[in-house]
Chains A and B, each alone.
With several copies, the nearest count.
Chain A
Amino acid sequence: MAEMNLIGALNNAIRLEMRRNPSTVVMGEDIAKLGGVFRVTTGLLDEFGPERVIDTPLSEGGIIGTAIGLALYGVRPIVEIQFSDFIYPGYDQIVNELAKYRYRSGGQYSCPLVIRTPSGGGIKGGHYHSQSPESYFIHTPGLKVVMPSDPYDAKGLFLSSVRDADPVIFFEPKRIYRAAKGDVPEEDYTIPLGEAKVRRAGDQVTLLTYGAMVVESLEAAEQANQQGIEVEVVDLRTLLPLDIEAVLSSVKKTGRAVIVHEAPKTCGFGAELSALIMEKAFPYLEAPVTRVTGFDTPFPYALEHDYLPSPARILKGIDYVMHY
């Protein structure tokens, strides 16, 4: 066991997998010599050499497009997209190619690979270093979507993702890259995709969240607790496939749910969660499921902390469902 932050845990996980599986390569912009702009791939070039740790041209379409070809022929690419805001030049390759390759070939081909990409706000990054585009990918059949919120999970989920038979979009909440710290075993372990984790138990309100918003939600739960409200915080961890049982069992217990995410509200993942709860737990609901999310604006620079869900805004949501 060692204390690691998210960056360290991910670095450790990638390193372990590259040692274990000689078919893995790491590719992306500035990931080799620099070790990534967030240093997640630090030291890999030295250990694994330039054939396996590859600085690419500045082209997300090229990175993702060639990664598909690499995966088709048995290389396992670990792709870094420097910021998830820059994933869109590769969007066609993701939604029309990567996501559909297995299906369209009748299961004869597959493109297992991981696209790691920092997402979310909170670092004063403005429009283009803060977006939370997970909903675009969750709406795209054929992809799995993961977002850890602490170092232990990050490592275990990454190792599952990189060994999964399907393509995984692995979002890393950059806001807590360094802030999230915890004990992480040095050795290999995996956390299965599709399993949520109850971060805090409670029986009056369920908070459904993921990524950096887990931290804000726990803070809000703590404050609610001071007011005598027992909040359960469910960290979804894998967004697709969703751990529907964990969601439902919590909501059926509490009868009240607040969903928290950074992405814009309209057609965000919160909408899906709300609809699912409606469909599967309607008779249990004491109050309408409520969303506390980023606003339906582009991500702002100066006012980012007003844009992002804060404990205060989450508390408002809790308050609303409690006093409905």
Chain B
Amino acid sequence: MTVKVFQEKDVEAAVPFRVMEDDGTADTRLEPELSSEDLHFLYETMVLNRELDDRLLRMQRQGRIGFYLTGLGEEATHIGSTFALEPTDWVFPAYRELGAALVRGFPLVEFVCQIFGNSGDITKGRQMPNHYASPSLRISSLSSPVGTQLPHAAGCAWAAKIKGEKTVAITYFGEGATSQGDFHVALNFSGVFKLPVIFFCRNNLWAISVPLSRQTASRDIAVKAQAYGIAGVRVDGNDVLAVYQVTREAARRARAGEGATLIEAITCRMGPHSSSDDPRLYREEKDLEEWRQKDPIARFQRYLRWKGIWDEAYEKNLREKIQIRIAEAISKGESFPPPPLESLFEDVYSTVPWHLEEQRLELLALRKEAKH
């Protein structure tokens, strides 16, 4: 009996696309056409992201903020990709892609205020740290439940298509999110309706303590695109130029009406899952050793040096400038008072219905009494 059974081997394993070698040299045929300013901007944004994460995680350790999530070691993934898009393209992040917001110019003070959840936070202190929103930058409102933003990105891209715009939507998520039903339905709708959306999976190998092998038995993440009739691509997630290139191509396809792309960027979550996590309970330091050699910032730095646009003076100056920006943002951001009590009842609906008004008055009365 010859039954044709598909198995993993039927699809040739895809070597992740890369532009830069570990030593910072690059295949010039693969290099993107980016100016020195662009390259510096990319580098500086990565460094800013790293420094900011580092600083805020330390502040959390000091008890000055309640919670924090870093993108340590994954900066190239979201910075390279967001930079490959137009400012009018939509971004639907998970919670680990601060760099994407920094590419868009998200003001540091606003970010810090969100971390503090104070009255300087444009989202009114409603959410945990790292859950910002910015309509003016076309960044969605972040949500904690893993994977829920994927259908939103697909829908947003659909809206662009309906409106006849060339706008693209990108959404970020970890490999853990690929296990959710929302991943499936979002990619499926995108395939059926040929939506201009980019599904950017940061395959950072861990979902809190759970390794990739417990998320899927598929050969890799990119191959899942086949299930939806969309394009799939693997990229070295620690190579910012490679990430830029595959995202540009995905955006080009989207704008040309060729539909959605699933990008799998292979990287590693170098830090704890969040400030609440203790990775020593489930993984060994030595598992990370190899990855430390591949640090995306160090690698990009070597590339810039190879290009002749990096030196120690530049680095020193950059780090200093960034430290000052961060210090200023924190001191300014920290200074805002908490959100006003009555803000608790706003924005549940466009206007406050009677029952919320009643609850508002009740709480305000109580606060008043407490003051006497």
Could you give, for residues 170-209 of chain B, a 1 whenever the CB lies within 8 Å of some chain A CB and a 0 otherwise?
0000001101111001101100100000000000000111
Whether B158 and A302, one on each chain, are in contact in the complex, defined by CB atoms closer than 8 angstroms, is no
B276 interface residue (CB < 8 Å to A): yes
A21 interface residue (CB < 8 Å to B): no
- With contacts A25-B162, A34-B209, A301-B125 taken as known, whether A109 is within 8 angstroms of B151 at the C-beta atoms is no
Whether B209 and A144, one on each chain, are in contact in the complex, defined by CB atoms closer than 8 angstroms, is no
Whether B151 and A65, one on each chain, are in contact in the complex, defined by CB atoms closer than 8 angstroms, is yes
B3 surroundings in chain A (CB, below 8 A)? none
> A53-61, A154-162, A201-209, A212-220: which lies at the B interface?
A53-61
B153 surroundings in chain A (CB, below 8 A)? 69
B67 interface residue (CB < 8 Å to A): yes
Whether A295 and B359, one on each chain, are in contact in the complex, defined by CB atoms closer than 8 angstroms, is yes
Whether A102 and B349, one on each chain, are in contact in the complex, defined by CB atoms closer than 8 angstroms, is yes
- With contacts A65-B185, A105-B123 taken as known, whether A70 is within 8 angstroms of B155 at the C-beta atoms is yes
Residue in B125, B192, B282 whose beta carbon sits within 8 Å of that of A300 in the complex: B125
- With contacts A104-B143, A108-B141, A241-B353 taken as known, whether A126 is within 8 angstroms of B127 at the C-beta atoms is yes
Could you give, for residues 119-162 of chain A, a 1 whenever the CB lies within 8 Å of some chain B CB and a 0 otherwise?
00000111111000000000001101000000000000000000
Q: How far is the CA of A42 from the CA of B177 in the complex (A)?
A: 25
What residue in chain B is nearest A38 (Cβ atoms)?
B276
Could you give, for residues 87-102 of chain A, a 1 whenever the CB lies within 8 Å of some chain B CB and a 0 otherwise?
0110011001100111
What residue in chain B is nearest A34 (Cβ atoms)?
B209
Q: How far is the CA of A58 from the CA of B189 in the complex (A)?
A: 10
A295 surroundings in chain B (CB, below 8 A)? 344-345, 356, 359, 363
Whether B192 and A57, one on each chain, are in contact in the complex, defined by CB atoms closer than 8 angstroms, is yes
| Total of A-B residue pairs, C-beta within 8 Å | 270
Whether A125 and B152, one on each chain, are in contact in the complex, defined by CB atoms closer than 8 angstroms, is no
B294 interface residue (CB < 8 Å to A): no
A128 surroundings in chain B (CB, below 8 A)? 128, 143-145
What residue in chain A is nearest B121 (Cβ atoms)?
A106
A89 surroundings in chain B (CB, below 8 A)? 145, 180-182
A302 surroundings in chain B (CB, below 8 A)? 117-118, 121, 124-126, 338-339
- With contacts A65-B148, A92-B145 taken as known, whether A59 is within 8 angstroms of B180 at the C-beta atoms is yes
A228 interface residue (CB < 8 Å to B): no
Q: Tally A residues with Cβ within 8 Å of B.
A: 79
40-77 of chain A: CB within 8 A of chain B? 51-52, 55-59, 61-62, 64-75
Whether B209 and A30, one on each chain, are in contact in the complex, defined by CB atoms closer than 8 angstroms, is yes
Q: How far is the CA of A92 from the CA of B185 in the complex (A)?
A: 13
- With contacts A34-B208, A104-B127, A126-B128 taken as known, whether A97 is within 8 angstroms of B148 at the C-beta atoms is yes
B169 surroundings in chain A (CB, below 8 A)? 69
Whether A34 and B186, one on each chain, are in contact in the complex, defined by CB atoms closer than 8 angstroms, is no
Residue in B188, B276, B339 whose beta carbon sits within 8 Å of that of A57 in the complex: B188
B353 surroundings in chain A (CB, below 8 A)? 194, 240-241
Q: How far is the CA of A276 from the CA of B354 in the complex (A)?
A: 13
B339 surroundings in chain A (CB, below 8 A)? 302-303
> B14-22, B210-218, B247-255, B308-316: which lies at the A interface?
B210-218
Whether A30 and B210, one on each chain, are in contact in the complex, defined by CB atoms closer than 8 angstroms, is yes
Whether A242 and B151, one on each chain, are in contact in the complex, defined by CB atoms closer than 8 angstroms, is no
Residue pairs across A and B with Cβ atoms less than 8 A apart, 5 shown, are A61-B182, A70-B162, A164-B350, A242-B355, A303-B125
Residues of A within 8 A of B (CB): 25, 29-30, 33-35, 37, 51-52, 55-59, 61-62, 64-75, 85-86, 88-89, 92-93, 96-97, 100-110, 124-129, 141-142, 144, 164-166, 194, 240-242, 244, 265-266, 295-298, 300-303, 306-307, 312-313, 316
